[in-house]
């Protein structure tokens, strides 16, 4: 009796490490040394690089939005001062915590996390805080746009992570989108009649 041939799974092809471009510059430099073992977490090297680059962009946008929100917390004035001052504090505190989670994921993928104003300004999509503090409701409008921008950028990289089999990053980016979408909605509600 002849044995049935073994079924073999098709070889999984690593993704091409494609990342949506913002300027063509490599953002996430690979870390490590010859004394450390090669990273072997089930994600190909070029995919880890693409994911780290995407996360670096989300980190830059998150940090820029954090700075803007903190600035608005300090500088808000007018009849809504108390409520906006407290709301902005809650938002910048959440954003601050998110920067650490994003940076540590970049490190877990074997790349250095960007962490300077110069690096962030090159790759951030969120505009820097206005030099002169705007009126309170203009601050709210700026923050709505900022949260929507970070959410859009994060969504661009979810498929990159999914294609590479990086579920932790895909899940983290999905969670970030949830936070940014909800925050944008709450801020936008302040602008409705």
Comparison of pLDDT for 95 and 2, the residue scoring more: 95
Q: What is the pLDDT of residues 3-53, one digit of tens each?
A: 544 443 333 444 444 544 444 444 555 666 667 778 888 999 999 999 999
The residue with tokens 């070029």 is 46
- List of domains in the chain: 55-191 (1.20.1260.10)
Q: Is the pLDDT of residue 54 over 70?
A: yes
Q: What is the pLDDT of residues 140-189, one digit of tens each?
A: 999 999 999 999 999 999 999 999 999 999 999 999 999 999 999 999 99
Sorted by sequence, the CB contacts under 8 Å of residue 99 that are 6+ apart come out as 59, 62, 63, 66
CA distances from 182 to 30, 47, 176, 178 (A): 34, 30, 10, 6
Q: What is the pTM of this model?
A: 0.83
What's the number of CA atoms in the CB half-sphere (13 Å) around residue 61?
25
The pLDDT score that the predictor gives to residue 87 is: 98
Q: Are 28 and 111 in contact (CB under 8 A)?
A: yes
Q: Is the pLDDT of residue 102 over 80?
A: yes
The pLDDT score that the predictor gives to residue 30 is: 62
DSSP-derived 3-state class of residue 36: coil
CA gap 178, 163 in Å, rounded? 21
């Amino acid at each position: 009796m002849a044995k049935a041939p073994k079924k073999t799974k098709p070889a999984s092809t690593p993704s091409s490490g494609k990342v949506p471009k913002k300027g063509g510059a490599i953002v996430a430099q690979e870390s490590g040394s010859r004394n450390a073992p090669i990273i072997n977490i089930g994600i190909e090297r070029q995919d880890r690089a693409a994911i780290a680059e995407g996360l670096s962009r989300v980190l830059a946008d998150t940090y820029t939005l954090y700075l803007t929100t903190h600035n608005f917390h300090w500088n808000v004035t007018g009849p809504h001062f108390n409520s906006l001052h407290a709301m902005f504090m809650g938002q910048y505190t959440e954003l601050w915590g998110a920067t650490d989670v994003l940076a540590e994921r970049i490190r877990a993928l074997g790349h250095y996390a960007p962490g300077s104003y110069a690096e962030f300004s090159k790759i951030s999509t969120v505009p820097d805080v206005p030099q002169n503090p705007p009126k309170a409701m203009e601050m709210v409008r700026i923050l709505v746009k900022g949260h929507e921008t970070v959410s859009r950028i994060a969504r661009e990289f979810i498929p990159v992570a999914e294609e590479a089999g990086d579920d932790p990053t895909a899940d983290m980016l999905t969670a970030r989108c949830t936070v940014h979408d909800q925050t944008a909605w709450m801020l936008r509600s302040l602008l409705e009649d």
